[in-house]
Amino acid sequence: MTTPVRHVAQAVLAVAAAAGAALSWLQVQSLVDVAPVTEGQPATVSVVYDPPMMVLTLVLATAAGVLAILGIAGLRRGTRITALDTYTP
């Protein structure tokens, strides 16, 4: 795989990982009914978080960040012309 194709693929995978992190974050929390503490009090609703989904979200967000940095830095590095590139003895 050539270098520009690899960096574009990294950028595309970064977008896919970010989308996966966003979708998994939407599935992290759920609402549960909590019984009243004392007699005559109303029942309440509490938010419960699913730890494995939170870990998945963290891993996907981290992968998206790393892939985005690698892809964008590689694309920028490949398009830059340095003084050594133009020097011919």
Q: In angstroms, rounded to a whole number, what is the distance separating the alpha carbons of residues 74 and 84?
A: 18
Determine, yes or no, domain membership for 22.
yes
pLDDT reported for residue 15: 96
Determine, yes or no, domain membership for 43.
yes
Determine, yes or no, domain membership for 87.
no
Domain count, the chain: 1
Check whether 52 has a pLDDT greater than 60. yes
Task: Provide the mean pLDDT of the chain.
Answer: 88
Mean pLDDT of all residues in 20-47: 93
Residue 40 structural domain: 3-81
Determine, yes or no, domain membership for 17.
yes
SS3 64: helix
Determine, yes or no, domain membership for 20.
yes
Determine, yes or no, domain membership for 29.
yes
Determine, yes or no, domain membership for 88.
no
pTM of the model: 0.74
Mean pLDDT of all residues in 24-53: 93
Determine, yes or no, domain membership for 89.
no
Which residue reads 């967000």 in tokens? 61
